[in-house]
Amino acid sequence: MIRRSIVLGTGSALPARSVSNAELAQRVDTSDEWIRERTGIQNRYIADEGETTGTLATDAAKAAIEMAGLQPSDIDLIILATATPDQTFPATATKVQAALGIDDCVSFDVAAVCSGFLYAITVADSMIRTGAANKALVIGSETFSRILDWEDRGTCVLFGDGAGAILLSAEESEDGSRGILASKLHADGRHNQLLYVDGGPSTTGTVGKLRMRGQEVFRHAVTNLAGVLREVLDMAGMTGDDVDWVVPHQANARILDATARKLGLSSDKIVITVDQHANTSAASVPLAFDQAVRDGRIERGNIVVMEAMGGGFTWGACLLRF
């Protein structure tokens, strides 16, 4: 028998307030035209005071649990990917656990910025396959609006807030054809000054603001993402033709197009939400995944490949049969 992690449910949550490019252009020296042309972004959601990484994560988790038809007490592992935790510690995952009313389970955060969800789901899958967990909530949740420099038009227009969750469950079968079939992670810390936050508890003692050298990140993103997508396809013994849906990290529509072109993937197989949500860092992949499941694009039996790249650099991909 082959033990695999299968997706039982998905969920997502967005702040109540949406902010269009036109609204942003009233407070920042930018234009709807520039943002659309350079990034594909039209809109983003921005958290109000009472909305935090933890509350958004909890709402996304509840939706995933409901879709799976489970009770919170069935969950034995919560991994939350975020670069914007509610507090420096404890892990926001433990706040989600408490909000869900789960008395005892393994709960921790992972920090790999925009590829955090890929890191989290790969760790959860490893724990499920070794028997260390049976039902795992894997969440990406961010409130990047709180670490944006609203004076820097080169970055503040690019990001939004939100959360997404995937509920994984252990399943044993003869052929192991369903569930997570391949995943691969990478990091190259030599580039950690191209995308970073200029603060932290151990350095400045402040939270800091996001800094990015956009063009250099762009260049690395296309190469790294195309490379890791090829790796997971090879690991699963598949080609681009076998893939039904690509759920990419939603940083920039031009990165998605360039990566798809490099791999010869048809652009109508790519789930795109960057127009509505902007870049929600670790939340972007599960948020897009949930949207495509709920609107009927991703169907049971489909081969879906997720990918992301972010600060560090870190990057990764995960291929599954839904």
- Single out the catalytic residue among 21, 43, 252, 279: 279
Per the CB < 8 A criterion, the answer to whether 54 and 139 are in contact is no
Q: For residues 56 and 277, give the distance between their C-alpha atoms in angstroms, rounded to a whole number.
A: 14
Interface with ligand UT7 in residues 188-217 (CB under 6 A): 214-215, 217
**Strands 77-81 vs 135-143: parallel, antiparallel or unpaired:** parallel
> Rule CB under 6 A: is residue 256 a binding residue for ligand UT7?
no
Joined together, the tokens standing for residue 81 give: 């990917």
191 classed as catalytic: no
Per the CB < 8 A criterion, the answer to whether 92 and 109 are in contact is yes
> Rule CB under 6 A: is residue 310 a binding residue for ligand UT7?
yes
- One of 5, 12, 21, 39 touching ligand UT7 (CB under 6 A): 39
> Rule CB under 6 A: is residue 251 a binding residue for ligand UT7?
yes
For residue 206, the number of C-alpha atoms closer than 13 Å in the C-beta half-sphere is 9
Q: For residues 193 and 312, give the distance between their C-alpha atoms in angstroms, rounded to a whole number.
A: 8
| # of chain residues touching ligand UT7 (CB under 6 A) | 19
Q: Which stretch binds ligand UT7 (CB under 6 A): 126-134, 151-159, 286-294, 297-305?
A: 151-159
> Rule CB under 6 A: is residue 108 a binding residue for ligand UT7?
no
- One of 2, 16, 154, 188 touching ligand UT7 (CB under 6 A): 154
DSSP category for residue 62: H
> Rule CB under 6 A: is residue 112 a binding residue for ligand UT7?
no
Classify 132 as helix, strand or coil. coil
Under 8 Å CB-to-CB from 296, ≥6 apart: which residues? none
> From the CB of 252, what's the least distance to ligand UT7, in Å?
4
Q: For residues 231 and 11, give the distance between their C-alpha atoms in angstroms, rounded to a whole number.
A: 28
Q: Which stretch binds ligand UT7 (CB under 6 A): 32-40, 171-179, 180-188, 288-296?
A: 32-40
As annotated, the active-site residues are 114, 249, 279
Site residues, ligand UT7 (CB under 6 A)? 30, 34, 38-39, 114, 153-154, 157-158, 214-215, 217-218, 221, 251-252, 255, 279, 310
